[in-house]
Structure formats: structure tokens, C-alpha cells
Structure 1
């Protein structure tokens, strides 16, 4: 049994670390005795150490001056990862920030266990980028470089749904074929697997760049952003007629990874110009305030909370936006949420069908579908899988830790 290899699930929204031992799996408490921590960072404006996890979110909610960042994993494989940006008074790259985050995970794990971890077994999505082999290879190379820079002497990767299959092999009634559906913050991954005496046998795996942050964006654009002017019209500076409000800045405002880079002089000038020319001046003034006061993350958290509540059976919620304007809120119920996510549901279902095709099996041959990943808790995911595999048992595993558990078991060998 290896004890020098740390199993790491570096996720878009949450991260976890674990170690397998003779008695089972030890999920290392890297934050407040919890099994996971948010994959988020905060840089105080006045300098000082980078904060991660819940401490980063607490600083943002408390209104501390600084820069909050989330969904860092989504920039792997992109040029943005290596671009130097002025963040809290220092020029930094996102690659350096990811490195610091991983270095902190290593340090906390070694402090909690008294062990040294020169090696890492990391989860990775089946595809970081859909239908782009070059970006996909670059993303893994980028992440490997971050692990090495964080102090790991060696790192290996295992696709996340395959790790989940290892952790979930004994879940549910015995079946010749199972389907792992792993919906995370940034990607959706699928694996068809068989039972085996020495662990699951992976028949085929597939993945797409679609996850919970995309669900947040779609919900925000459909329900929150219209209250900030999206879908409205602008008067022309010269001549008659009206122009549609540009969609691009709202898409950036609704995208977790892009929010920190929206607060530029160019965007502030755009918001001011649109506020002057908007037919609905009050709505556009709200957009201007979000940009000027840097309220993008507060809005994203409000949308995320609304999505979670509306997803519950009978759930009805409002996206509370009183921090922009007193009393401002966007109604949101399950029907409205499902309508906003109809396109994402279709894409998810098509990816599951493609996985079965790659495996050379039919939906009728699948005996159990196991849902893992935080975003698999969205009601439409189970509904879509039940419609695809009507004869299968639909099971929910440890949504937030199945991947790291499987990684720990794999690292033990």
C-alpha cells in the first residue's frame, strides 16, 4: 500500500484530498474538518497571504477590498492561463494562482497526516475541452506543470468518471453494465463499466465541457440579467431607430471565470454609455452599478442559491438582488429553471447517448446509472437518465467525494 501518493480531486467548484489505508479511505480534513473546500481564492487589496476555500468566500461576503476568483480549472489549456494580470497590486498569472492553491492543499494534507506526499494522483475530466484534442492535451500539460511547481515530484492522472466507478462498484444491485454520470462544476463525464473481481472494467468513457457553472450562467441570463437591461434596446446617438442591448458583457458577467476580468475602464465606459442611451434607463443603471461597484460575484452567488432552492421538489425562490437595488428580485421556480436549462439538458442527454455508442451497447443493457458530482443533484439530470435508460436503477452516490474516494483506492495499488 502506498502512503506517499496523495489523491486529489481538483474541481471547478470544489476540491478534496484523500488517502487510502487498510481500513478504508481517509478524507483529509483540509478545511474546518470538512471533506471538501471551495476551489476559490481571495487576494486582499492591501497585500497579505492568498486565502482559499471558505475563507475566500467569507472575505468577499464581508466586503473586504480585494480580488475573489473561482472556477480556475476552466482556464486550463487556454492562453488566458499564462497572461499576466494586475491582481491586488501584483502582476500574476492564473497558472501561478492554481499552483499556489495546489501547494496549499499539499501543505494542509501533510500537516493533517504527518506524512510527506511527493506524488499525486489527480482526477481529470475525460475532456477538458469538447472536440479539441490540442486544447485537451495542453490543459493536462498545464495542470501537470502546476502540480510540479507546487512541489509534487510526480503526478499521474485518472479520468474522474473512472475513479468514481472504482468507488461505486458495489453500489446497487449487481448488473453486467453500469453507467457513471459525473456532473461537476465545469464538465460532464460518463463511463460505461462492468463488474470485475479486481475492480470495474471501463468499456468506454466520454465527456463534454458542460457543468454547474454553465447551469448558473444559463439561469442568470434567463432570469437575472433581464432586470439589468439584457434584452432591452438602446437609442442611437445619431439618427432614428433602436439598437439591441449587446449580449456579450452580460455573458461575461454570468460566467464565473470571467467576472474578475470584467472590471476594466473599457467595460465601465460601455456601461455608462449604455445607461445614457437605454430605453429602460432604470434597468441599465443597475447593470452600471454592478460593474462600477464590482458586484458580479455577489450576483453569481445569488443566482446559484436561487438555482439550488428552485431545484428542490416544490421549490420556489427568488434570485435576491437587493444588494443592487432594495427589493429587487427575480422569481424562480422549478418550471422556470427547467426552461432556462432545456438546452443544457439536451446536450447532456446527447453526450450520454454518445457514450453508449462508443461502448457499443444499448440503453436497455444498462442495469444501473450512478450519479456523482455536485451538479448531478439537479433534478433534470436524473430525469434525463431515467428517460434514456428506463430499465436501469438510478442511484446517487457520495456526490462530492466519490471521485476522490476512487482516486485514493487507485493510488493504493
Structure 2
């Protein structure tokens, strides 16, 4: 029975063999080991696209339903299903569609579609125990629908730890920080040659925790700090029937702009009427036009791709420019790394508090020998600095930011 490790991520999914090899399941993509966790349902055809082809098809014709970050809704009891092209899709069905496509893409490398899987999960889907259980139940059901018959779970920071452990020549006490798109997970764990062969590593885990801070929230802070005024934040519009009454743009509209996939939830009739009223009477007409086109032309995904690109540039540059020209939206916004760090200050504070809280609960375990950072946001200089200032540059280690978890899950599958 073919076994694998599968890292189903908010942004990307990866699958690995028991020897830790991460498989090239997305040929033609910039990194073929990463399968984008997105789905596109075009309005004018019955085909359903996933991964990189879904993005390409959506950008050609974005009038259908584009679904991203479905993992971030697994814990939500209020999100049970959605209607797409006349069919009810349970959240388990949407996740299963992605897992099935990944499983099928792995088949040529595994002698047939793998049936046994070690599936990653966050340390905490949610701080609410019932919501956390619900999320894992849904993920298990999705894996079953996708065709996996033997399913085990492993929290993602432990998987990342197993990836790091493969290179160790001595035992260490390691703090692992895994920065995903939706969450950050931290685990303090004993690793090394003397423990590497144990099939059950639970006794090696000293402590773990998680927080809902990830790459998506760093993107949102760029939107909040630099771009919301370009879409009418702080502007006013005239109320119909009153000659001199003006109101500010509602906060709930602005808050939905902080996450591109939330924008579709404000395209209902009442919001469209409000946006049209703002077009007529806003004291900032250019900004009102930009807001209308952003929401009604469904341009959120394109904008947040530009935001993410700037965030990545700021990891290696002191300044970058966000260029975005679509419809009546004309953005050419310079952003410095210092501005990005100021915008992200509350997130960095929360990460520091969560890290210190874990260390305090694990007091007595001994001195931390190394800190292993993985995941996209581990490349943000301010995030790395948070740990180098606490532990020293020489103790902070990194590996492949995007496939360490999948590699570790694969290694865990060797003992299934």
C-alpha cells in the first residue's frame, strides 16, 4: 500500500514520499512541488479547475467562482456549504476535490494513487476545542472522499521538526515555528539521532501552541496601512433625500477589503446600491470609482497578488512599489520596509507573546539549542529578527520555507 505525507495548506499543498522527497505535482508552475490550494468554477462550462490552472483560467475570465483559503474555514460551524452552479458543495467536498487532484498527480511517482497518508494539521485550528475537533473531522472526511483509506494526523510543526532532524548529528531541544498563510504553529521538541527511529514521537514533544497569524494577515496590514485610503477610507457621501447630510463609508465595507475572498460577500444588492450612491456623491470621486471597480469587477485576488509580491520584495529590499492598473484603479504606491514593519507591529507583538508563553509553560525543559523557522512568513526580516534577538543569530536555523512540513510528513509516513 503506497504511503505519503500530505501538507494541505491555506495557500499551497505539497505531497512527499516516505524518504522525504517532495513530489513535482504541479508541472509548469514556478515551483512544481507546490500545488496551489485554489478552485475555479467557470460560469460558462462544466469543468472545475484546481491548482495553477485554476488561477490561469480565473485571470482569463473571472466571472465564475474562485475559491481560495478553504482550509481557513474548516473550523467554522457557520460555514457548512455553498451553492455553486446549482449544486450544494459541502466544505468537505471542496477540500476533497483538492486532495483528490493532488493524490492523482502523485500517482505516477508512487506506483498508483497512494492510499495511506499522514496528513498535516495545525497545532490549533481554533482555540475553541469544539471548533478544533470539527476542523479535524472535516479534514478526515475530505481525505476519505478523496480516496485515502488509512489516515493519520500529525501537527505541522512536528512534521517540520522531523525535516530539520534529518540533518542533526547530535540531540537538541528545538523550538520549531511554522508560519503558514493562515496560522503560525510553535512546538518545543527533543530531536536528534537517538530519537530519530522512534515511530511514536509524542513523548518528545515538550509543548506546542498556535495562533491565527499567517501570511494573509501580513498582506492585510499592507492593505490597511497603505491602500485603504485609495479606496475611499475616510471619505463621505451624500444621503439621498437629505440636502446636507453626509455619511462616512461604512466600516464593515472597509473591513471586508482586508481579505480578497471576503470581498465577494459585499457584492450583494444593498452594497451595490451604496457603491452606486458613492459614485454619485463621494467627496473623493476617484477613490469611489476605484472601490466600485474593485468590488464589482471582482479584482480582489489580482490586487492581493500584487500586495503579496511587494511583501516578498521587502524581504530583500528596503523599498518596493506596488503597481496595480485595472479598470479605474491606478495604484503606484511606494512602500518601505520600515512602513511594513510599523504596519505589522501588532502581529509581531502577538507572535512574541505566544512564543514567550510557550517557553514559560515549558520552563524546566532546559535551554533551547536551536530555533527552526519554516513557512513563507519566516522570510520576513522582522519575523526572523524577533527570534534572533531572543536566541541569538547562531541558534536560528531555516530550511526550505515551503516544503519542510511536507518532507517531515513524508518521513512520518515511513512508519505507518
Is this a same-fold pair by TM over 0.5? Answer: yes
* 1:18 corresponds to: 16
Aligned residue for 2:290?
A: 286
Structure 1 residues 171 and 271: CA distance shift in structure 2, 3 A: farther
Measured at CA, do residues 94 and 258 of structure 1 come closer, stay the same or move farther in structure 2, by a change above 3 Å?
farther
Deviation at 1:257, TM superposition (A): 3.8
- List aligned pairs for 1:7-406, cutoff 5 A: 7-20=5-18, 24-32=19-27, 34-85=32-83, 87-88=84-85, 90-129=87-126, 131-171=127-167, 174=170, 176-196=172-192, 197-199=194-196, 201-237=204-240, 238=242, 240=244, 242-314=246-318, 316-325=319-328, 327-361=330-364, 365-390=367-392, 393-406=395-408
Partners of 2:279 and 2:212 lie apart in 1 by 34
SS at match of 1:311: coil
Aligned-residue Cα RMSD (Å) equals 2.3
SS in 2 for 1:81: coil
The answer (yes or no) to whether the contact 2:35–2:102 under 8 Å persists in 1 is: no
Q: Structure 1 regions of 5+ residues with no counterpart?
A: none
Aligned-pair CA distance for 1:277: 4.0
Number of residue pairs the alignment of both structures matches = 404
Question: Contact 2:77–2:131 (CA<8 Å) still a contact in 1?
Answer: no
* Residue 8 of structure 1, CA deviation: 0.5
Change (3 A) 1:312 1:232: farther
**Helix, strand or coil at the partner of 2:17:** strand
Instruction: Kindly provide the CA deviation profile for residues 292-319 of structure 1, in whole angstroms up to 9, marking residues without a partner as x.
Output: 21111111111111211123233x2222
Task: Return 5+ residue gaps in structure 2 as ranges.
Answer: none
Asked whether the 8 Å contact 1:367–1:391 carries over to 2, the reply is: no
Contact 2:39–2:68 (Cα < 8 Å) also in 1: yes
1:122-166 residue CA offsets vs partner (Å, 9 max, x unmatched) = 00000011x211111111111111111222223211000011111
- Does the 8 Å CA contact 1:122/1:156 hold for their aligned counterparts? yes
Runs of 4+ that moved beyond 6 A? none
Change (3 A) 1:173 1:6: closer
- The verdict on how the C-alpha distance between 1:310 and 1:233 changes in structure 2, with shifts beyond 3 A counting, is farther
- Give the TM-score, by structure 1 length: 0.91
1:390 Cα offset (Å): 3.2
Contact 1:68 1:260 in 2 (8 A): no
Contact 1:118 1:152 in 2 (8 A): yes
